[in-house]
Structure formats: structure tokens, C-alpha cells
Amino acid sequence: MRSPEPDDRLRMLAELKEAIRRIERRPARRSGVVPTGLKEIDAALPGGGFPRGAISVLAGGQASGKTAVALSVLASLGEEELFAWVDGRGEMYPPAAAARGVDLGRLLIVRPGTAPAGPGVGAGELAGPVAVGDEPLAYGCLWAAEALLGSGAFAAIVLDVPIPRGKRGWDAIARRLQAAAERGGALAIWLAPSRASVRLPAAVRLELSTQEGRIVARRAAGGGALAGDRHVA
Amino acid sequence: MWPERSSPPRVDGAGESAGERPGDVPEAESPPRGRGRERAPRVLAIQVPDLPLQRLRRSREAGRLSPAPLPEPTSARPGERRPIAVLDEGRVVCCEEAARAAGVRPGMTAAQALGALGRLEMVPLDASGDRAALCALAEALLALAPAVEVVPPDALLLDASAAHLLAGRGAGLEAGERELAARARSLVAEMGYRTRAAVATGRAPARALARHASGSIEWVPPAGAGQALAALPVDALGVGPAIAARLAELGVSDAGGLARLPEGTLAHRFGPEGVLAARLARGEDESPLAPFVPRTLPEEGAELEAPAEGVEPLLFVVKRLADRVAARLSGRGLGATRLKLVLKLDPRGEERIVVPLSLPTPAPGRWLVPLKEQLFSLRLPAAVLALRLTAVEVAPVAVEQLAFGDRPEAVAALETVLSRLAARLGDESVFAAEPIERYRPERAYRAVPFRSRPRRPQARVAVPEDAAHRPTRLLPKPQPVVAEGEGGRLTAIRVAGEDRAVLGYEGPERLAGEWWSEGFDRDYYRVRLEGLGECWIYRDGADGRLYLHGFFD
């Protein structure tokens, strides 16, 4: 018997994957990129947008335009797509998001710490071998981020999580987040201060700043190491 | 035994009509033939044989820490589980097959039963527990029929008038009613009970037929109840023992014989009860169902077969309980929005878990993820003896459940992750925002529950006009800053101990609140600061100081 052509095999594999997905009732994985609609930003991005199923980093100062770019991404998603904002700093201002075209009805805001802390973080999640230290806020945020990214229910998730200095086990956390984003097919945007204490390996990393009221983007080195399927162990 | 009912017929009410002449009772007058049959409802009767025994076994099985069912005891092997008999007022009501094989029979005294089988486990009858079990089943069965009647001690009657809708078009009455009966039996089986079922016209005939039905479903066409009942013993009709004994003296032992007796003789000899019994024997019962209305929120519990040290073995039990609570809720068209799981500890004390759910759902699969997470986060100080799961808050399940492109898997994924987040981080930490007309910037929106159903673009919330001039980040607490100037000109602002040169600014924009509700008075400026970017800074009218309130990030 002749073995199938490579193309046939790939198609067959894709069909099988899809069949398994349906049996497991997992949401369909999204792929491709989402443009921001901001010319300067899209020009700096490989493929003209932020990749789905991967983590992108927007780094910059406190008023560098990170939030505005992230909001533009959410505003340009399809009308049936939901998105979430893990707002660890509690600073995201929803009226401004709405003014920038984000449908607040589709935006889930997760603000750990606005309520009394729930029960301790359980086994199997970001606990255990990955010691996140004694920072319950970062802990809650990272847990929520992983849950949202892996759920497949949200097309995009913006992560604004203050990471305490000297956090250990960061690589493992980053890998888990990346794996969750791949699993759920979610576009993840990590908002990082320009002088972040930790550096997240990401598919795309943009350094943002403002010049005369315009956002200027510079694609930073280090991006691409974990881009989508081109996963480098 | 007949249930307590206000509506006729009632045939065992000995003494109820004492002193009345038979002819005075309106029910004794013979109705025009045929008319009654047209008005009598089609009824599916579900009988739970040996309910007290089944309930006992079920609660022991629910506490099993593995998925395997409880093994049936045999009388042959000592050291095994002892066969059970349920006793009421010192007499056996029902017993397990192993006990029956050893000679134990219903009606025996406790001493006789023990004489037949020394290692018999005798359990007193719990009539209220049995009734509650029937009500729980009725609750679940409401998913299948518009009305369900609870008929203690062991039966449920379902209104089968709409059953033809269950079968395909043109499939006929029988197919629909059989389908209803099959679904009802399988639902009750999922709840842990074996049943017998019969579909007939009229409450009493259906019930009598169910009680004597074999394993499969007894189906009787609309006009055939009398014929179907003919071979049943008279006590199947619920005839009191006194009347049954007098009928036996006349040589009448089955319903057919009773139906053939002339009505005049019956009224004379047996009073109205006799007339009613004969009417039932002919399959005539027009009485409507007395619908069951559930009053309490469903709760299911189980005593564990052995104390459980960890959380892992509890999962089987939690799943079983969740399935049962969910079935009962879904019968009422309700979904749980908050669950409570109570773990009874050894030797005393308890642990409670409360799980908020994002959307009212009766799907137990969606409950299990957050329940499991909460369970695993528990540090159990002692072994667990028993579990109790309650739906403490419920809401009607929206008919239009599907969202984004009618993809059920996506909806399920969303509900699961929302429930997990709410359970772990608290309800208040997970929300959607809705702008509201308020002058004070930090109050210009409020948190509302996140809905899975995205609104159509035209249904979007109106955005206040000034929102375009608001910063993308608003500090939860305004931060005091100090202005520094030269010759009356603002040159720098000291933020967090560091001087930042002012590169330019716009403003002021005055925002002030009504003095009676939110007294505040602020002049806001958009200030471009070196090394920080565009900031939102206000001068507070109350103390005259400057505050950093946000960033145009």
C-alpha cells in the first residue's frame, strides 16, 4: 500500500484533530493575527497584527500608550468574540475603553483583590512546584490568566499583572501561560513596565513610547522565541 | 392505601360516610357511560416497588467511595452484608431478596422474621423520608410532564395528555406514551430507583396497573382500562380490607368480577365505597391529578460507607449528588446559581464550601469543575463522614442559552471558566463594566455581571461624550503631587519624590458634583511630564492640593 502524500497526511491529521475537538467539546482554536488598526503599530508587527495562540508583550512607561494599543486590539476583534482584562493594578478605566470602541458588554474584567481572598490556591494550578512567593495578588492574577487563556472562551486576554521583585520560578510560570494561550487559541497581551523586574518570553515584544502625542513602537529583540507553533523548547 | 386527597374517588375511607344512606351520596349515581371516559385524563403511573428498601440502598450506594454498585447480599455467605427488612409497627413492610429467600415475608412480626433469618438487619420505616424521596422524584419528573402527582407511599402519577408530542408526527398515541414512560423510568433510574410503569386513562386504573405491571411498560388504550384491570385482584383497586373480605365471601376476588356486579346490589351491600370500587374496576376514574408543587430547594446527601481521609475519594460521591440535585432542578426549569456543599467531619464539626456559578445552569458537569477546585483547596482537619449538596440559590434557566454563534462547546467553556474565577477570586472580582452618568470620574461606571450573550452592536451601552477625554488608566487612589514653579510659571511636578519637568498641559476641565450627593470640586489638567508621559492631574477645591489621578497610557 502506498503511504499517503504529505499533504494528505496533514489534512487527515487536521480532520482528526477537529473530530477529537468536537468529541471533547472544546471550542475551536483560532489562528492568524489581529491587527490593531493603528498604522504605526501594525507596521511594526510581523504579519501585520498580534498573533493568536501566543503571548505578546507591550512594554513601556506609565503613559506610553500600552493600554491604548491593547484597547485597539480588543476593539478590532469580531463581534462574536469575547475578551478579558486581568487588571491586577486595578487601573483600567472602562469608560475610556468604551470611548475607544471596545464593547464593554464583551469585556470581562478580572480584578483579584477587590474581594476578600478566596480559599487557598489549589493543587495542580500555579501552586506546587512553581513557588509564586507570598504575593497573593500576583498569584490570583496569574491563576486567573492561566484559566482564561486555556479556557478557549475568550479571543483575547490582556494581562496587567504586577510581578513582585525577586520572584522565583518565573520561567515555569511563563511556560504555563504560553501553553495555556496555545491550548485556548487566545491572543494574549502582557502589559509590562519599561523596567520590568522579570522578562516574559514572547512571540512579539514591542517597546512603546510617545512622541508629541503619537505612539511610537519599536520591535524589541527577544520576541519570537515562543511564537505559536514554532515552539522552541 | 390511597393518598390523602380532597377530591373523589376515595374507596378506603371507612367511616367517612357513616350515617349517610348510600343513595344520598352523589358519587353513587351512575354517570352516563362514555362521557366520563372522555374527560378522564391519560395518566402515566410510576410505581417504586419497595420504596423504603430502595431508598435505604440508594443512600448507602450514594456514599460508596467507588463507582461500583453495592453488592447484593446472599443468604448463603455469612460475614457479608446482612439482608435488610423494613419494619413498621413491629411488622415487616418489605425485605431484600436474600431475606425473602430465607422465608421472611411482608406482614410477619419482627420475631417471626428473625426466626426465619437470624442475621436480618431490621430498619424502622421512615414514612416522611419516603415521602420526601417521592417528592424529589416528582420534582425531577416535572421536566417531562405538565403535572405530576405524588401518591404516597410509593407512586407518582404523570399527566400524559401531551405525550403524543414526544413521538414523531403521525406516530400515534401509543408511541408517544411509551416514549414518555421510557423517559420517565430512565430519569428515575438515574436518580437511583427501579420502577414499574403503566399508562392508562384515569388515575386509579393507571396506578393499579403500574403496581401489578411486569418489568416492561404496561400500555392500555383509552377505552381498555376495564379489560386490562379485569385480571387484577380487588385489592389492587385500593379496596379496604373489610370490603375485600366481604367480596371474597361472595366469591369475587378479581376486578373483573367486581365490575360485573350490578350497581344496585353494590350500593345496598357495600355503600358508596363499593360503588366507587366497582366503577374503578370498570376503569372509570375522572378525578384530575393533584399537581405537586415543590416548595424547597433541592438537597441531596449521602453517608459515606467509610470515613474518607482525603478529598479524592469524595469526588465520586459529589458527582452522584450533583447529578441528583441537577435532575431535580431541571424538572423545575431552574438552574443553580450558588451551591453549598457541607462535609460532616469525624467525630464532629463540618466544613462548608459555597460555590457561586456564573449562569443559572442545571448541567452538573459545569458545577463539578468549581466544586472540585474548592474541595481540593480545603485542608481537612478530620475524616469526612457524610456529604450534603444543596442548591442554595436558583434562577430560571434562560431558554435562549446559546451565545456566540450557537456553539454549545464555547458556551460551556465560558460558563466553566466564569464559575471557576468567581469561586476562586470571589463574585466581586469578576465583572463587566457599565458606564453611568456620574460626574465623579471614579464613579462613572459600575460593575455588572458578565453575560455570555454578546449584545448586538446597536445594543451597545451608550458612551458618555466626555469619556474620549478620559485617561485609559485611573489610579484607584489619587496620588498627591507637588507643583514647582519659577516666577509664577509651572515648571515641574514632583511625583513620588522625583521632579518631572512639565512639557506642556491642557486644561482646566472643571468637574464638580452636586453638593447633596457627591460634594467634590476638581480642576483637571492633562499634563505632559518628562519621563512619564501624559498624566491626568487635578487641583482639589477642598484642600487646594494637586493629585495625580491617571495616565493617558
Other Cβ atoms within 10 Å of B504 Cβ, number: 11
Q: Report how far Cα A104 is from the mean position of its chain's Cα atoms.
A: 19
Instruction: Note whether ipTM > 0.85 here.
Output: no
Report yes or no on A14 lying in a domain. no
Q: Cβ contact (<8 Å) for B432 and A99? A: no
Main-chain dihedrals φ then ψ at residue B294, nearest 5 degrees: -70, 140
Q: Cβ contact (<8 Å) for A153 and B553? A: no
- Same CATH fold assignment for domains B37-70+127-224+285-295 and B236-282: no
- Which of A48-57, B201-210, B223-232, B486-495 has maximum average pLDDT? A48-57
Structure confidence by residue, pLDDT tens digits, B134-173: 998 998 888 888 889 998 888 999 998 878 777 777 777 8
What percentage of chain A reaches a pLDDT higher than 70?
76
Q: Which of B319, B278, B279, B322 is nearest to B300 (CA)?
A: B322
pLDDT over 90 at B297, yes or no:
no
Report yes or no on A232 lying in a domain. no
Least trusted range by pLDDT, from A9-18, A119-128, B340-349, B505-514: A119-128
Structure confidence by residue, pLDDT tens digits, B236-286: 777 777 788 888 888 888 888 888 888 777 777 777 777 888 888 888 888
Q: Cβ contact (<8 Å) for B534 and A63? A: yes
Q: Identify the pLDDT of residue B31.
A: 38
Rounded-to-integer distance, Cα B47 and Cα A67, Å: 64
Specify whether the CB–CB gap between B439 and B517 falls below 8 A. Answer: no
Rounded-to-integer distance, Cα B412 and Cα B402, Å: 9
Helical axes B263-281 vs B241-249, angle rounded to 10°: 120
Report yes or no on A3 lying in a domain. no
Can you tell me the mean pLDDT for B225-238? 79
CATH class of the structural domain B37-70+127-224+285-295: alpha beta
Chain A residue with the nearest C-alpha to that of B478 = A91
Rounded-to-integer distance, Cα B442 and Cα B538, Å: 13
Chain B residue with the nearest C-alpha to that of A95 = B467
Q: Identify the pLDDT of residue A116.
A: 36
Can you tell me the mean pLDDT for B532-545? 90
- Band of pLDDT at residue B73, cut at 50, 70 and 90: low
Report yes or no on A154 lying in a domain. yes
Rounded-to-integer distance, Cα B444 and Cα B433, Å: 10
Main-chain dihedrals φ then ψ at residue B448, nearest 5 degrees: -125, 160
Q: Identify the pLDDT of residue B68.
A: 61
Can you tell me the mean pLDDT for B478-498? 87
Provide the residue ranges of all domains of chain B, joining segments of one domain with +. 37-70+127-224+285-295, 236-282, 299-425, 466-551
Structure confidence by residue, pLDDT tens digits, A83-117: 999 999 899 999 999 999 999 989 999 998 753 33
Q: Which helix (H) or strand (E) holds A140?
A: helix A136-151
User: Mean pLDDT, chain B, as a whole number?
Assistant: 80
* Tally of structural domains, chain A: 1
Would you identify the CATH topology of the domain B236-282? DNA polymerase; domain 1 (1.10.150)
Specify whether the CB–CB gap between B152 and B31 falls below 8 A. Answer: no
**Residue A47 falls in which region: left (phi positive, over 0), alpha (psi -120 to 50) or beta:** left
The whole-angstrom distance between B408's CA and the closest CA on chain A is: 8
Structure confidence by residue, pLDDT tens digits, B12-41: 333 333 333 333 333 333 334 444 445 788
Specify whether the CB–CB gap between B533 and B454 falls below 8 A. Answer: no
Structure confidence by residue, pLDDT tens digits, A27-40: 566 668 899 888 88
Cβ-in-10-Å burial (0-12, 13-18, 19+) of B438 comes to middle
Rounded-to-integer distance, Cα A101 and Cα B329, Å: 40
Residue with more model confidence, A28 or B540: B540
The whole-angstrom distance between A2's CA and the closest CA on chain B is: 38
Rounded-to-integer distance, Cα B159 and Cα A183, Å: 48
CATH label of the domain that carries residue A65: 3.40.50.300
Can you tell me the mean pLDDT for B502-511? 88
What percentage of chain B reaches a pLDDT higher than 90?
14
Q: Identify the pLDDT of residue B389.
A: 93
In this structure, whether the domain defined by B299-425 belongs to CATH 3.30.1490.100 is answered with yes
Which residue in the set A26, A123, A213 is minimally distant from B376, CB to CB? A123
- Band of pLDDT at residue A198, cut at 50, 70 and 90: low
Report yes or no on A182 lying in a domain. yes
Nearest-Å Rg of the Cα atoms of chain A is 18
CB contacts of B417 in chain A (<8 Å) are: 147-148, 151, 153-154
Which residue in the set B404, B426, B535 is minimally distant from A116, CB to CB? B426
Specify whether the CB–CB gap between B40 and B9 falls below 8 A. Answer: no
Report yes or no on A6 lying in a domain. no
Residue with more model confidence, B150 or A121: B150
Residue with more model confidence, B3 or B213: B213
Q: Report how far Cα B366 is from the mean position of its chain's Cα atoms.
A: 15
- Band of pLDDT at residue A156, cut at 50, 70 and 90: very high
- Inter-chain CB pairs, A–B, below 8 Å: 197
Report yes or no on A226 lying in a domain. no
**Residue B406 falls in which region: left (phi positive, over 0), alpha (psi -120 to 50) or beta:** left
Q: Identify the pLDDT of residue B507.
A: 80
Can you tell me the mean pLDDT for A39-57? 89
pLDDT over 60 at B479, yes or no:
yes
Q: Cβ contact (<8 Å) for A96 and B472? A: yes
Report yes or no on A76 lying in a domain. yes
Q: Which helix (H) or strand (E) holds B96?
A: none
Least trusted range by pLDDT, from B60-64, B325-329, B529-533: B60-64
Write out the residue range of the structural domain in which residue A151 sits: 30-219
